[in-house]
Structure 1
Amino acid sequence: MGFRNLRSFNLALLEKQGWRLLTKPDTLVSRIFKARYYPQGFFFTSDIGHNPSYVWRSVLEAHPLVLKGVRWTVGDGTSISILGEPWLPDAQNPFVSSQHPALSSKRVCNLLVLDGSGWDEEVVVDLFEQREQRLILQIPVQYGHDQDKITWIGEVLSLFTVKSAHRMMEEMNGENTHDAAALEVFWKKFWALKLPPKMKNLVWRACQGCLPTMIQLRTKRVHVSTICLVCDSHEESIYHALVDCPTAQLCWNREGIVTVLQNNADFLDWCNSNFLVLDSNKKKRLVALCWSIWNARNDKVWNNKLLSAESIVYSAKIYLNQWLVAHSYNVIYPSAGFVLGDGAEQRQPPLENSIKVNVDGAIFADTNQFGVGFVVHNTQGLLIEGVTKLFQVPATPEFVEALGVKEALSWIKRNRSYQVAVETDCLVFIQALRSSIEMISMFGQVVNDCKVLLKELQHVSVFFVRRSANKVTHNFARASLSYPDCSFNFGSVPINLLPSLVAEFNG
């Protein structure tokens, strides 16, 4: 499972029990613990209590870790205490720090207007500090007033997993030295490579520290020498076996791939640094050569046969070329749930007697803001309306795109438009919109709102298009920083947005 620290693993399992106490309050165990240790509150506010049992002491050991990873997703606001519970959309501090007496024992629903359709801005401004005002007013009020939901920040679906809890503890303890965002980019590039699965599997296992090198075997209490059998001079780690061994060095030199790495870096760091600078063909050859070097190492271990660097490189090239030729006549394109109308690479005018709404979002990381824009065209391709909106809170790309579509659907509903095609270049959102899987995160909440709006609207469809077909809307989304919460027709469009509109119309 990839766990290296037994205490962290045990704490992650205890976190799972805390998660169950929070998310399944009607179970017998939850009701017993609540009656005994926190009769007036939630697991959020529980403490050690008087004469606690060993089981409760153990579960409470993970209490701070649960609080770090758990968030409330605001629905009707009736279950969330304003004070002492994590409901603000702030990764560092999701708790309210304002100490106004009026907030004591109050629920989040008390901050909504009477019909629950939005925040009571006057109340929020009166009771909260400026940071909290900004965060609260940017929380989308759920369409249809569903119940509040408890979510987990470490997973895309916002459901707790022991793996994500363990990873969070590694980051807290400084054990996880890899940049999560950089690794996500690396793995996307890696899995997108057209290569034999066994080659990718070998490199993936090496990056995860799961190859049976001599050092790895020793950590599993296998009594073997840690010296590399190929060079007979250094200890055999994964990095040494695939990169730093003299034979491996000769192979990499023949391929023209750099093997110099900073101190304390590992094989994953080496792969990541090379993927940043190599083109697609070089990346394929890197993975293939790793596979060939490992096969040569196994030949030495099991058959006492030492291959030359020339033979290892030649073997990698021949196998890779043969596989690519064999698969070049049977290309299968992943559908990703596509429907008729998806995947346009150039903007197409809407069908007769209909309109088209293109949506895009933009994140301004330097100022912790994001903007959305949507552009409405008629059958002739002329601009009906362009809208920009700016939000004062950090957010994920998929959330931004989803909120943009929700704003566009709300516009369609207000204007009573019909026969509308909505287009976005966010494939993650499209897949979520067409999926039956329930998502309880803020992103999932906005997706559910879009589903509800689509049921209310007639003849409105949402399609995926390539970024090249969404250039004008991208410019509008970026312009939200200069023109927040604005609406334009063709006669009032800012001059810096006109060239792209004209070019699109003429195109």
Structure 2
Amino acid sequence: MEWQAKEEELLAKMDLVRRGFGCLAMVATWTLAELVELAVTAMVAVCENGVYTVKSGYRFLQTEFQNQQPGQSNPLMLKPLWKGIWSLKVPSKVKNLVWRAVKNSLPTKQNLVRRKVLTDDCCDQCKMQKEDTFHALYLCPKLEEIWLSKQAWNQCSLRQVTSFVDLMGHILAENRDPDLFAMVVWAIWKRRNDIRVGKRGENLPNLVQQAQTRLQNFLLHNSATTTSTGQPPTQWQPPAHQQYKINFDGALFKDENQAGLGVVIRDSKGQVMVSLAQRIPLPSTAIEVEALAARRALELALETGLNKGVLEGDSLILMNALKSNSHSLAQFGHIVNDIHYLASQFPMISFSHVRRHCNSVAHSIARRALSFSSLQVWMEDVPPEIADVLQADLIALVE
């Protein structure tokens, strides 16, 4: 029948499109009407009732996207891989990087050439091969000493692996120390980026040991946090040994068209390392004040060298945004991005949400910011006016 012949012709053209650039010369001869008809037919073809809907179009695009992904293309086969990645006992930023590597969404030189950002996809490290995800994180000859240092990751025992998807699948399925592997992968990518922007990257011989140390510190802190937060805390809780608790809060003074930022950083014994009060012009929303206070808190911690610990505040919306791996589209999203950047400068950092009564010192400082000069800092102390609030926290720790 005529319509069947037409459908076969369109399906043949769809196959040409899927084959990629090798068929562009033929595709270029088609008229605009033919291309539109092809697109509509392609999407209708995936509809159960032959009628195009937004939902069916989305399913079609999702299927096409999955077919373009490297490695295993069956979503059901990939589910255990995603579950394994997000179950790793590593920082969220490490999980996110591994997930992006498996999805081939890292800005490797090959991907940047494909997007027409660069024209050369040669690896900057070895100067010999194209830099795709698998090469940048595993196959580059410059990384050989890292992977040879641990038999479980040795290339000789993973010769059948052809992509980073398969590599990560093997590491997880065969339990080849996947947590440490993920930490090493993160360190390799960070080193690669540092070198590209002219910074001094970590020495390769020490990279695995440094990754091991970071992992141990993370597990130690995570264990301590889990133990102490089985139930919602009713008072301020000190951080783990040799770490710092960075509390922040914001306050609004609408009549004066001003806002106040309050920050206090304490050690594991509850002793104040530094505190800060700052008065700023009133932002448009309360959540922006909280976000600005969090950013100022991390800046203060970095300025004073107190770069291991927990950033803690009483804004649930902000803390959820900071814990999320996705790009924030909120009005205060640009401040969240700043906070994530500052957090990346810390050897170890985590985010914690608490109730207002567990953040009373930072809250009290923020409420009194209007009575100080535009910026006031107290080393190893808090404003005299709130000494009783600090003392209440210390007494509660003893009890």
Does TM-score exceed 0.5, indicating one fold? no
TM-score by length of 2: 0.42
Choose between structure 1 and 2: higher helix proportion: 2
